Structure 1
Amino acid sequence: MTRVNPRSVRAHNDVLAATMALLDEGGLPAATVDAISARSGVSKATIYKHWPNRTAVAAEAFGLRMADAIPLPDTGNARDDLAEQVRRVSAFYAGHSGRVFAQLLAATVADPEAAPYFREFFLDGRRQAIGVLWDRALARAEVRSSVSVETAIDLLFGPLIFRLLSGHAPLTAAEADALSAAALTGLLPNT
């Protein structure tokens, strides 16, 4: 059995709390290792002992905070559950947290050391949560079993990320409803 040093756990938690506060205040640009160290009281050497860089720290802090930020609906049917979740995610992306998400996503694209932290602490948890909705829908035979949950997630939520990053269209409830309706109904007329 591996013993966990309470000081190490406390330092880890202090770094994550300081990083989240900095992300809240100024986004990823504010979360430098110097600022994280000053805010947390944890040395830069200790920070680098646990994370390869500031983007990795920020990705973990953001992911842990956001794990419960978008609760799953349970309306009793797949169409309403999925449409409501698209609305909730769209609202999340439209706010300050969405800007931080976009900054982290952009930073991790060019940072192979930080990308696994972003996937593990943010994306994996969000995708697993949507998997719960999809499994409910499959159990009620409300969605096609031939469509994988990964495909469904990309179709429903990918457009929101594209809009967030490109800014070509708004992230509003009406737009979220239009996107989910098109994804859930399909683009081609019934023939």
Structure 2
Amino acid sequence: MNAIHAAVLDLLSTEGYAGLTIEGVARRSGINKTTLYRWWPSKPALVAATFRHTIARDLPVPDTGSLRGDLVALVTAKAAFLGDGPGRLAADVLAHTGADPELARLADELLGQHCAHVTEVTGRARARGELTGPVDDQLLADLLLGPVWLRTVVTRRPLSNSDTDALVDTVLTGLTLTTDPVARTRR
């Protein structure tokens, strides 16, 4: 399996998604094409399996002992993953989702994995008594991943440690707003 996933990632990096073929993966991995088709009926299915494997290998859910620490570690890992290597390739593949329903399902699956990571983190925080109120894990996942995606995928600007800390702190504490109308007009 590792040879197959390595071949997919290598071909994605050299040929892009459009140039990736099952036949090319078979040649590069040394695995018979019919065997590949038996396991994965289509190119998107093979690519999805490769990214599932890569995310499981490269993005373990952190356990630092605190909600804030876990979220900072998770955001840092996601930014690093999307900024380079297999994660960068995943982001490039997901750019094709509009044209391919199978890739749109892959995007949903990858976002679902991200939400599952956040749910695991918040579940541990609840078990520690650190988080007591209701939390919409999907919304929290979106609030954290949105800026990471924008910076690492769209603008290709890395997130610094201070950016990551500020992102997590803002999401956890919200913004402080004044209700004093005089203070608002002083700006």
TM-score normalised to the size of structure 2?
A: 0.76
Q: List alignment gaps of at least 5 residues for structure 1.
A: 1-11
User: 1:63 offset after TM fit, Å?
Assistant: 1.7
Matched to 2:121, the amino acid is L
- Taking the aligned partners of 2:61 and 2:97, their CA distance within structure 1 comes to 26
- Taking the aligned partners of 1:168 and 1:61, their CA distance within structure 2 comes to 23
User: 1:64 offset after TM fit, Å?
Assistant: 0.8
Q: Which residue of 1 aligns with 2:88?
A: 99
Q: Which residue of 2 aligns with 1:35?
A: 24
Shift in alpha-carbon separation, 1:165–1:65, aligned structure 2, 3 A: closer
Identity of aligned residues (%): 36
- Taking the aligned partners of 2:99 and 2:152, their CA distance within structure 1 comes to 18
Match of 1:130 among 107, 115, 118: 118
User: 1:133 offset after TM fit, Å?
Assistant: 0.7
Q: List alignment gaps of at least 5 residues for structure 2.
A: 180-187
- Taking the aligned partners of 2:51 and 2:27, their CA distance within structure 1 comes to 19
- Taking the aligned partners of 1:98 and 1:85, their CA distance within structure 2 comes to 14
Tell me the number of residue pairs that the alignment of Structure 1 and Structure 2 aligns.
179
Match of 1:71 among 51, 60, 68: 60
User: 1:181 offset after TM fit, Å?
Assistant: 1.7
Match of 1:162 among 150, 158, 161: 150
Contact 2:94-2:103 within 8 A present in 1 as well: no
Match of 1:141 among 116, 129, 133: 129
Shift in alpha-carbon separation, 1:176–1:31, aligned structure 2, 3 A: farther
